[in-house]
Amino acid sequence: MPSSPQPDRSGPQGALPGFIATGRDATPLDGILGTHDSVTAIVCGPAILHSWQLASLTPSTPTLALSRVTRTDRGAVSTATIADGMRDDPAALTRLLPPFAAVRGDEHGVRMVADSMGFRQLYHSVPDHADAAVLSTSALFAGWARSAELDPAAVAVQSLLGWQLGQRTLFRGVDKLAPGAIATLDADGVHVSATERAPEAAISLDEAVSLAAALLRTSLEAVLDDHPDAVLQLTGGQDSRILLSAIPVTRRRGLRAMTLGAAGSGDVTVAARLAERYGLRHDVHGLRALDGLSAVDAWELSCEAAMRLDGMADPIALAALTVAEGSFDQGVRISGLGGEVARGFYYVGAVHDRPFTRKDAEQLAAWRMFVNEAVEPGMLDPEFSPWARATANDEVASALFAAGNEWYQATDDLYLRHRMQRWAGVTDTAVGSKRVVINPMLAPEFLSIAARLAPEDKAHSRFLARLQMELDPELGRIPLEGRPAPIAAAYPNPWYSMIGTMTTGRRLAGKVLQRVRRGNRPPAGGSVLAGKVVEHWREHSDVVSSAPLAAFIRADWIDGVIDGRIEPRPSSVAFMTNLIVASGALVPRDDRAERL
């Protein structure tokens, strides 16, 4: 059995394997990268490309895939194909299954490309600033290399949302590489070319079901051909059920499956029954108790998680998951992440085409987006707090209006191009070096099918339920965890419609109560881990006091946490951990003084 996870010190500051490219005349990066022996540097014409734990990136091998997932829905893509694409037509590589990215360094400079969802996170300085040009797998390193200040608008959004919108990062002058985009650093600085998304013709529900079923069957067969020991991440929900249904019955017996959850929970119970029915080799992995974790290890694991997330998602949640995942072997995993794209994540009530206003955007933000991961009242500076709320509302509204003037299509775009890219994508990137996770529902072709459907065909899981019945009617008649069998949504009757309305009402009522109580839901293990982080802060208050937080967080609130008068929410602990790490407060002072 794997040992308990320990903070990773195998690269610069425990960062993910990656790179940073700057101009040859840029300030040396020793203060950021340290002197770790995993760091190598190669000259690429007008640029220098530093990398760590990417041993194959050398002058003789100038191209490297930055993801362990290198495939289309039809199978694996060779390293030679990727190398040829980066040299001749990098735009063609954007069609690979997310998460995918690649980098190439040659005599002309350094080039990097993102997948069609921008799922594998990459970062660059704003174009045409040759004096501080940078490309990197790390937004933190990119920001520190530019001596960049924290962006108040980004901090505002994250204080309420817990993640970022669009291509913004925590640093001014540093952006995330947009989906399907190519960034180049050459003698003139950074240039970014984006792949335009052409409008696609609408598609009927029947045609969508037929195309999606064929796509998933082909994709799952190819995955199992390439990885016979791949593990299906099986839950009691709909998305993993669809993936199981796309696997031929003849290949199910002996298929490996795993469920992460407590014995006796709904997910575990439903998954176990499916495994028994079809002869799957099913393992259940519970969340390991965090009680034995020391305060210092909790803090170091949380800081490492913040580094891997580039400070732009919940490091407490990731650190707790890291402890859980460290208790069993990793491998190739098949995940249903992406199914929510096809069922209207932000849909409520009866769905029909309609325009929307700024008020609609603010209501969506208040009741669905700012509830779960917002920091607690009284934490933010009294001048910054109202400005942060207004700014976050502006950002949500801008994202929606940029997608068009029809409400449900705009919310679909908000979910796919913002929540999936900047929340799910950054989390997936953070764990991508530890395990291979293949998400067939993130294939560009599947996402295209979902985007071309009318919103009313996706609402209340109608499309996914019909897809389930097309793939395997038997599995479609088995109830989901806490919900009716998919057949009920596939062919709804008035009774099911009433149940669907009641379910939506209960979900909204829960959000209302949560908002009235001004509370949010901590991630699994988050309360225990956050408590240990706070314990470390109280024992080592200099960790907090040395960080430049005064512009955003009240000093008396911090004092209350340190002296024990305030027990902060896990979301607040996550937010402050990200700011401490992003500020560079944990970098040795001699190095930090040159940059901050």
What is the model's pTM?
Answer: 0.91
In whole angstroms, give the CA distance from residue 502 to residue 451. 27
In whole angstroms, give the CA distance from residue 334 to residue 413. 25
Contact 256, 230 (CB under 8 A): yes
In whole angstroms, give the CA distance from residue 122 to residue 112. 8
Q: What is the largest CA-CA distance in the chain?
A: 70
For residue 233, list its beta bridge partners.
258
- From residue 240, give the alpha-carbon distance in Å to each of 14, 145, 248, 325: 33, 42, 14, 19
| Sequential pLDDT tens for the chain (596 residues) | 334 444 444 446 668 899 999 999 888 888 888 766 678 899 999 999 999 988 777 778 889 999 999 999 999 999 999 999 999 999 999 999 999 999 999 999 999 999 999 999 999 999 866 678 999 999 999 999 999 999 999 999 999 999 999 999 999 999 999 999 999 999 999 999 987 777 889 999 999 999 999 999 999 999 999 999 999 999 999 999 999 999 999 999 999 999 988 888 899 999 999 999 999 999 998 766 677 889 999 999 999 999 999 999 999 999 998 888 877 777 899 999 888 889 999 998 889 999 999 999 999 999 999 988 999 999 999 999 999 999 999 999 999 999 999 999 999 999 999 999 999 999 999 998 888 999 999 999 999 999 999 999 999 999 999 999 999 999 999 999 999 999 999 999 865 455 554 554 454 444 444 444 445 666 678 899 999 999 999 999 999 988 899 999 999 999 999 999 999 999 999 999 999 999 987 754 334 323 32
Sheet of strand 63-65, all strands in order from the earlier edge strand to the far edge: 63-65, 101-106, 109-114, 181-186, 189-194
Neighbours of 381 (CB within 10 A): 16
Domain map of the chain by residue range?
A: 12-194
Sheet of strand 281-285, all strands in order from the earlier edge strand to the far edge: 281-285, 256-260, 231-233, 332-334, 436-438
Phi, psi of 557 (to 5 degrees): -70, -45
pLDDT of residue 523: 67
- From residue 194, give the alpha-carbon distance in Å to each of 89, 113, 377: 13, 10, 40
- Give the CATH architecture of domain 12-194: 4-Layer Sandwich (3.60)
In whole angstroms, give the CA distance from residue 401 to residue 395. 10
In whole angstroms, give the CA distance from residue 134 to residue 145. 8
Write down the H helix ranges in 255-383.
Answer: 266-278, 295-308, 315-325, 358-364
Contact 155, 149 (CB under 8 A): no
The dihedral built from the CA positions of residue 53, 56, 59 and 64, taken in this order, carries a sign that is negative
3-state secondary structure of 594: coil
